[in-house]
Amino acid sequence: GENVEQHPSTLSVQEGDSAVIKCTYSDSASNYFPWYKQELGKRPQLIIDIRSNVGEKKDQRIAVTLNKTAKHFSLHITETQPEDSAVYFCAASGADKLIFGTGTRLQVFP
Amino acid sequence: NAGVTQTPKFQVLKTGQSMTLQCAQDMNHNSMYWYRQDPGMGLRLIYYSASEGTTDKGEVPNGYNVSRLNKREFSLRLESAAPSQTSVYFCASSELGGGRARFGGVSGELFFGEGSRLTVL
């Protein structure tokens, strides 16, 4: 079945710097790769997603890139702000279910 | 519009006790899921129901059973709770339907409930 690996597990950046989180997946048939943000004590919420027919997608300060050949995808956050502090999860669709990575705790220091 | 509602929010059990976590969604979604979240382990899929009348095992199904009662409701049962089942449980739903490329077609967004914190002593 699908296996998703996520790195790093923790990431600390200064406000205004960029943050990059990387994920790899195992199932070459996976075709959907979302990213979820979970603030402390809250439920995970979708922030951006990408489908396998697209190499890059942007939404304001966040962007996701996908390399199907290498089976990896990344989340890029530019001009980080303290409210970006949260746990971020990548995921990949294996058949009819979504398999998540282990999460990255991002801390943005003022 | 409540979205996805889970009950109870908190529960403490003794080893060997049984309990059922309830989940209901009011978005007319086809698919429903149960995940557990443990520190450093991310969100792991326990069971899912791709459509009403079907259920399938996820990554960590041992010790759990599920029932897709109707299109709205999907319950998770612990028959004999163990300390290893101490976790935060999230129910989620999506409008996806059948087919291999389902996540690539209609919206693949998962809508999560608020979570249920379960402690097994």
User: What are the mean pLDDT values of chain B's consecutive 10-residue runs (121 residues total)?
Assistant: 92 97 94 92 91 90 96 96 97 69 59 96 96
For the four alpha carbons of B40, A1, B89 and B99, in that order, the dihedral sign comes to positive
Using an 8 Å CB-CB cutoff, list chain A residues near B113: 43
- Mean pLDDT value of segment A1-22: 95
Judge whether residue A93 has pLDDT over 90: no
- Residue A52 is predicted with a pLDDT of 81
Q: Which of B48, B98, B104 sits opposite A51 (nearest CB)?
A: B104
- Mean pLDDT value of segment A9-32: 95
- Higher-pLDDT residue of A89 and A28 is A89
Q: Which of A31, A32, A97 sits opposite B58 (nearest CB)?
A: A97
Interface test with B, best of A96, A100, A105 (most B CBs within 10 A): A96
Question: In the structure encoding, which two tokens stand for residue B49, read together?
Answer: 């129901």
CA neighbours within 13 Å on the CB side: how many for A87? 21
**Confidence at A96, pLDDT banded by 50, 70, 90:** confident
Per-state percent for chain B, helix, strand, coil, to nearest 5: 5, 50, 45
